[in-house]
Amino acid sequence: MKEFKRFFIITLIVFVFSMIVAPVALINWIDFMIGRHHYSKTADYINYLIEQKNAKAQEYNEKYGYKIVFFSGSNTLYGINSKYIHEKTNLPVLNYGIHMGLEHYIFSEAEKILKAGDIVIMPLEFSIYKKNNSSIPSQLAEYLVTYGKDYSQKLTPVQKIGLAFYLIRLIIQYHKIEADPLSEEILSQTNDFGDFIANKGVVPDIQNNRKYINITESIPKVTNKNFALYDFIQFCKKNDITIFATTPFFYHKNTFTKAEKNAFENIKTFYEKNGVDFIGDIDTGCVFDEKKVYDFGYHANDSGQKERSDYFIKILGNLVFI
């Protein structure tokens, strides 16, 4: 009987520790650790891009009073040259392409720099047309452990615990806390407009799983719940910011499947229901020629970038002055 009692007490202590003490300790630890060190070069580079783009946004605000923001993940980062467009049109064009691995977090960054009178053109990657992920994807976690102090207040306890485990794994993986500083070579990959300018030529032998992009969507039936894109559209409407949607730059096989055509129509219908004009059609941003692709199906090389920039130069006047 005494042995059973002792076993029961030990089991209870272990249970309480594992269910209450350990999670609370992890949450307090990650709250303490966020922002204390630069854990990842990738996160540092993403933050460098954001700061670079934010500086240009502020410059436009002061000089023009408004700006035209191309906003999405890396298909915009690689896919347009806003410096070239600005020089050709004298319009305040900003490349706000970040990294779609951050998923819904990119909307939070965009909201910080947008103001009344701005125009947003969204060639969003197809992976964004889905409800918010309850778990934190690894690329977002890698960014948040250094730069997500404010954003972390929005996270649930379970998400914070996940973030703590990710940071532990990151430290073990690199065998140190502080990441190496960014090299001048990396910093010179973009200009002061936030355009990627190191995408010269074609990377040989692009892996097949990184080559072709398929059109997909998982738009929630109830779009006003747990859907970051819907919330972003409402934010823009509330703050007198004009939005246009279009397809991203993407490399595709010669024909579209029936499923892809249906997915594209669902995307267009979503925008129509929410009062957002859609630019172009299913193949507007699509290329079938690998000679215009850099290292990934969403990434244009300098040739593809110029072609896409020239396309937007032709239509920007109509969008700005309608």
263-306 pLDDT, tens digit each = 999 999 999 999 999 999 999 999 999 999 999 999 999 999 99
Kindly state the percentage of the chain with pLDDT values over 70.
93
Helices of type H across the chain: 2-16, 22-33, 41-63, 74-79, 82-89, 105-113, 138-147, 157-174, 184-187, 228-238, 258-273, 302-321
Which H helix or E strand runs over 68?
strand 68-72
Q: 119 and 320 in contact (C-beta within 8 Å)?
A: yes
- Domain segments of the chain as ranges: 52-138+183-321
DSSP 8-state code for residue 293: B
Residue with the bigger pLDDT between 210 and 117: it is 117
Tell which residue, 210, 294, 293, 213, has the closest CA to residue 253: 213
Residue 322 has pLDDT above 70, yes or no: no
**Residue 8 pLDDT > 50, yes or no?**
no
CB-based contacts of 201: which residues, under 8 Å, 6+ apart?
A: 301, 302
**What pLDDT is attached to residue 250?**
98
Q: Which CATH class is domain 52-138+183-321?
A: alpha beta
pLDDT in tens, 81-125: 999 999 999 999 999 999 999 999 999 999 999 999 999 999 999
Q: State yes or no: pLDDT of 13 exceeds 70.
A: no
3-state secondary structure of 287: strand
Predicted TM-score (pTM) of this structure: 0.90
